[in-house]
Structure 1
Amino acid sequence: MPQVVFPLDSSKKFEDQEKLGHNRWHPEIPPVAVVKPGESFRVDCREWFDGAVVNDDSAEDILNAPLLTVHKLSGPFGVEGAKPGDLLVVDILDVGPIPQEDSGPLAGQGWGYTGIFAKENGGGFLTEQFPDAYKAIWDFNGQTATSRHVPGVSFTGLIHPGLMGTAPSASLLAKWNKREGDLIATDPHRVPPLALPPEAEHAVLGGLPREDWSRVGSEAARTAPPRENGGNQDIKNLSKGSRIFYPVFVDGANLSVGDLHFSQGDGEITFCGAIEMGGFIDLRVDIIKGGMDTYGVHENAIFMPGNVDPQFSEWIAFSGTSVTLDGEQRYLDSHLSYQRACLHAIDYLTKFGYSPEQAYLLLGAAPIEGRLSGVVDIPNSCSTVYIPTSIFDFDVRPSSSGPFQIDPGMGAPRASNR
C-alpha cells in the first residue's frame, strides 16, 4: 500500500483530524504534505457532508443538508518542483470505499446515499419538476449497489472522485469572484441562486493561521462548480486507471481531492445525484515543465479515462429537444434538451411502477450515459440519455405484453416538513 499522507479517523469529525483539510479554494492555504514527482501516495477522503447524512428512512437530513460547509477536501498536497505554467500529471492508481469497516455510521462503510435537494437548498437539474427533498440509501456488496428505496435494480459501481483540482493563483481567484459575482447581480434573489459567493463563517482553511481565516474566507471560492483548475467536475469516468493533466497556477500546484462517488450517471442530475461516500484514493503525480503553453492547456483539465468501466452491451435510450414543457421553442439549448431527455426517461420508468422521484434518483446514481447527439440542426438541439438494460431485474424494453409492474417497496423517503 502506498504511504498514507492524509489519514482520517472514522471516529472523529473532519475538523478534529490529525491533519486538517479545507472546503474552499484559495492560494494561501498551505500544503498539508509535499510529495515528489513519480511518487505514489494514499489519501483518505470524507464524504462531502462529513456524516450529516445518515443511513435511515428519512429525508430530513437532505432537506437540512449543510451546503455552506462543503466540500470536505483532503489536501492540499504540494508537488516538489511544480511551478506556474507546468502541467500536473495525476494518475489514479486505485479508489474505493472506506476500507477499515464493512458497515458503520459513515457513508462509505458499506453504504452510500443519493439525494434530491429541495429547491430552496441547492435544487438540482430538474428542480422545477422536483422541488422537494428525497433520499435513497444504497447498500454495497463488493462492487454492486442495491437500494431498499429504489428496488428492482442493481449495478456495478464505477468508483471515482467527484472533485479534484489544483489551487488557483490570486489573479485567477479574483477572476472567478468577479465573473460569478456579476452573474449573481443579474438576479440576486433567485432560488436556487445563480452562483455561490465567498462565505467566511463556515470556511475551513487547513493549516492557514487562524488569525487569517476571516480575511481569506471572505475571498476564498466555494468548491461547488468546476472551473479552470478542474474542481468539482463530477466526471464518472475519472476512475481507476485514469490520467489527468491539471494546469498549475501556484508553486507546488497544491492538489486537493474529495467527494468520492461509488457510482454516478452522466450529469449527476439531482445535484446530490451520485452515490456519495467516503473512502480512499491512491495517486501518483508527475510534472510536464511548461506544459500549459506546450499543449495549450490554460483553462481546462484534460484526461485519459481508465479502462475499468462496467461493460454494458444493451441500452434503452431517450431523446429530448430544446422545447420547453410549455411548448416554447429555444434555440439550440442543449441544457434544455438534456432535461427533456431525462424527463422522458423518468416518465417511461413510472409506467413500470416507480414513482417519479425513484426514477429521478436512479438516473442520478446508475451509470447512465448522456450525450449531445445533435447541436447543428436549428432550432432544436437533440440530447439523449442511455440507460443500460441489464441493471434492471426485469425486462425494461417495450413489448406487446405491456410494462412489467414492480413492487416499489417503501419508496424514496421525502422530507416531512415540505
Structure 2
Amino acid sequence: MPDVVFPLDSTRRFVDQDLVGHNRWHPDIPAAVTVRPGDTFRVHCREWFDGAIHDDDSADDVRDAPLSTVHCLSGPIAVEGARPGDLLMVDILDVGPIPQEDSGPLAGQGWGYTGIFATQNGGGFLTEQFPDAYKVIWDFRGQTATSRHVPGVSFTGLIHPGLMGTAPSADLLATWNRREGALIATDPDRVPPLALPPLPQDAVLGSLSGADFDRVAAEAARTAPPRENGGNQDIKNFSKGSRVFYPVFVDGANLSVGDLHFSQGDGEITFCGAIEMGGFIDLHVDVIRGGMETYGVAENAIFIPGNVEPRYERYLAFSGTSVTLDGEQRYLDSSLAYQRACLHAIDYLTTFGYTPEQGYMILGAAPIEGRLSGVVDIPNSCATVYLPTGIFDFPVEPSASGPARIDPGQGVPRSTF
C-alpha cells in the first residue's frame, strides 16, 4: 500500500482531524502536505457531507442537507516544483470505499446513498418534476450495489472521484466570482439559485485562522460547479487507470480531491445522483513543464479514461428533443433535450411497476450513458439516454406479452418542507 499522506480517522469529524482539509477554493489556503514529482501516495477522502446522511429509511437528512458545508476535500497537496503554466499529470492507481471497513455509520462503510434534493435546497436536473427530497440507500457487496429502496436492480460500481482539481490563482478566482455574481444578479431570488456566491458560513480552510481566515472565507469560491481547475466534474469514467492533466495556476499546483462515488450515471442527474461514499484514492503525480502553452490546455483539464468500466452488451436507448413539456419549441437546447430523454426513460420504467422516483434514482446511480446525438439540425437538439438492460433481474425490453410487473417494495423515502 502506498504511504498515506492525508489520513482520516472515521471516528472523528472532518474539522477535528489531525490534518484538516477544506471546502472552498482559494489560492491562499495553505498546502496540508507536499509530495514530489514521481511520487505515489494514498489519500483518504470523507463523504461530501461529512456523515450528515444516514443509513435509514427517512429522507429528512437529505431534505435538511447542509449545502454550506460541502465539499469535504482532502488537500491541498503541493507538488514540489510545480509552477503556473505547467500541467500536473495525475494517475488514478486505485480508488475504493473506506479500507477494511465493511460496516459502520459512514457512507463508504459497506453502503452509500443517492439523493434527490428538494428544490428549496439545491434541486436537481428534473427539479420541476421532482421538487421534494428523496433518498435511496445502496448496499455494497464487493463491486456490486443493490438497494432495498429500488428492488430488481443490481450493477457493478464504476468507482471514481467526483471532484479533483488544482487551486485557482487570485485572478482566476476573481473571474469566477465576477461572472457568477453577474449571473446571480439576473434573477437574485430564483429557487434554486443560479449560482452559489462566496459564503463564510461553515467555511473550512485548512490551517488558516484569524484575520487570514476571515478574508479568505469572504472571497473563496464554492466547490459545487466544475471550472477551469477541474473541480466537481462528476465524470463517471474518471476511474481507476485514468490519467488527467490539470492546468497549474499557483506554485505547487495545490491538488485536492474528494466526493468519491461508488457508481453514477452520466450527468449525475439528481444532483446527489451518484452513490456517495467516503474512501481512499491512490495517486501518482508528475509535472509537464510549460504544458499549458505547449498543448493549448489553458483551461479545463483533459484526461485519458481508465479501462475498468463494466461492459454491458445491450442497451435500451431513449431520445429527447428540445421541446418543453407544455410544447414550447426551444432552439438547439441540448440540456432540455437530455431532460426529455431522461423523463421518457422514467416514464418507461413506471410501466413495470417502479415509481417515478425509483426510475429517477436508477438513472442517477446506475451506469447509464448520456449522449448528445444531434446538435446541428435546427431547431431541435437531440439527446439520448442509454439504459443497460443487464442491470435488471427481469426482462425490460418491449415485447408482445407486455411489461413484466415488479414489486416496487417499500419505495423511496420522501421528505417535504
- Please give the TM-score of this superposition, normalised by the length of structure 2: 1.00
Name the counterpart of 2:293: 293
Map 1:13-92; keep pairs closer than 5 Å.
13-92=13-92
Residue 249 of structure 2 corresponds to residue 249 of structure 1 = yes
Q: What residue is the counterpart of 2:350 in the other structure?
A: 350
Letter matched to residue 292 of structure 1? M
Instruction: Give secondary structure in 1 for the equivalent of 2:18.
Output: coil
CA deviation string 1:255-296 (max 9, x = no partner)? 000000000000000000000000000000000000000000
Tell me the CA shift for residue 299 of structure 1: 1.1
Corresponding letter in the other structure for 1:154: S
Does the residue aligned with 2:191 lie in a helix, a strand or coil? coil
Measured in 1, the distance between the counterparts of 2:351 and 2:411 equals: 15
Correspondence 1:120 to 2:120: yes
**Cα distance in 2 between the residues matched to 1:212 and 1:201:** 15
- Which secondary structure state, in structure 1, belongs to the residue aligned with residue 178 of structure 2? helix
- Report if the CA contact (8 A) 1:203-1:217 is conserved: yes
For the residues of structure 2 that align with 1:36 and 1:212, how far apart are their CA atoms?
27
Which residue does the alignment assign to 1:169? 169
The corresponding residue for 1:178 is 178
Aligned to 2:224: 224
Using the TM superposition, give the Cα deviation of residue 214 of structure 1 relative to its aligned residue in structure 2, in angstroms. 1.4
| Residue 340 of structure 1, CA deviation | 0.1
Displacement, 1:8? Answer: 0.5
SS of 1:177's partner is: helix
> Could you tell me how far 1:7 is from its partner in structure 2?
0.5
Q: Secondary structure at the match of 1:273?
A: strand
Offset of residue 215 of structure 1: 1.1
> Tell me, what secondary structure is at the counterpart of 1:412?
coil
Question: Within 5 Å, which residues of 2 pair with 1:73-152?
Answer: 73-152=73-152
Give aligned-pair identity as a percent: 79
Distance in 2 (CA, whole Å) between partners of 1:218 and 1:325 is 40
Q: How far apart in 2 are the matches of 1:215 and 1:287?
A: 31
Distance 1:404 1:128 in 2: 29
Shift of 1:100: 2.7
Query: How many angstroms apart in 2 are the aligned matches of 1:268 and 1:179?
Result: 24
Q: Deviations over 1:118-147 (max 9, x none)?
A: 000000000000000000000000000000
Aligned equivalent of 2:376:
376
SS at match of 1:300: coil
Moved over 3 A (4+): none
CA offsets 1:299-333 (integer angstroms, 9 cap, x no match): 11000000000011100000000000010000000
Match of 2:364, SS state, is helix
Letter in 2 for 1:185: A
**Residues 202-281 of structure 1 aligned to structure 2 (within 5 Å):** 202-281=202-281
Is the contact made by 1:200 and 1:213 (CA closer than 8 Å) also made in structure 2? Answer: no
**Which one-letter code corresponds to 2:60 in the other structure?**
E
Q: 1:211 Cα deviation (Å)?
A: 3.1
Letter in 1 for 2:40: S
Q: Gaps spanning 5+ residues in structure 1: where?
A: none
Once residues 332 and 280 of structure 1 are traced to their aligned partners in structure 2, the CA distance between those partners, rounded to angstroms, is: 41
State the SS of the aligned residue for 1:403. Answer: coil
Task: Tell me the alpha carbon deviations over residues 85-105 of structure 1, each in whole angstroms, 9 at most, x when there is no partner.
Answer: 000000000000001311000
Which secondary structure does the structure 1 equivalent of 2:272 belong to? strand
Q: Any idea what SS the aligned residue of 1:198 has? A: coil
Output the TM-score relative to the length of structure 1: 0.99
CA distance in 2, matches of 1:126, 1:271: 9
Provide the C-alpha distance between the structure 1 equivalents of 2:301 and 2:160, rounded to a whole number of angstroms: 16
Once residues 218 and 196 of structure 2 are traced to their aligned partners in structure 1, the CA distance between those partners, rounded to angstroms, is 12
On the 8 A contact 1:86/1:289 being kept in 2, the answer is yes
Letter in 2 for 1:296: G
Map 1:278-357 to 2 at 5 A. 278-357=278-357
Segment drifting more, 27-36 vs 202-211:
202-211
Matches within 5 A, 1:392-407: 392-407=392-407
SS at match of 1:347: helix
Cα distance, 1:212 vs. partner?
1.5
Deviations 1:100-122 (A, max 9, x none): 31100000000000000000000
1:208 CA displacement: 1.7
The one-letter code matched in structure 2 to 1:270 is T
Q: CA deviation at 1:206?
A: 0.2
1:411 is matched with: 411
| 2:62 alignment partner, SS class | helix
Distance (Å, rounded) in 1 between the aligned partners of 2:376 and 2:200: 44
Give the Cα–Cα distance (whole angstroms) in 1 for the partners of residues 28 and 258 of structure 2: 19
> Matched residue of 2:318: which SS?
strand
- What's the offset of the Cα at 1:201? 1.7
Partners in 1 of 2:76 and 2:176 — Cα distance?
19
3-state DSSP of counterpart to 1:5? strand
- Counterpart secondary structure, 1:235: coil
Q: CA deviation at 1:210?
A: 3.4
Please report how far the alpha carbon of residue 209 of structure 1 lies from its aligned counterpart in structure 2 after TM superposition: 2.9
What are the Cα deviations for residues 55-98 of structure 1, in whole angstroms up to 9, with x where unaligned? Answer: 00000000000000000000000000100000000000000000
Rounded to whole Å, the distance in 2 between the matches of 1:266 and 1:409 is 26
1:207 is displaced (CA, Å) by 1.4
Partner deviation per Cα, 1:190-232 (whole Å, 9 max, x = no partner)? 0000000000121000012333211110100000000000000
AA of the residue aligned to 1:411? G
Alignment partner, residue 200 of structure 2: 200
Distance in structure 1 (CA, Å) of the matches to 2:266 and 2:140:
20
Contact 1:353 1:406 in 2 (8 A): yes
The two structures, once aligned, show a CA RMSD in angstroms of 0.5
Deviation at 1:361, TM superposition (A): 0.7
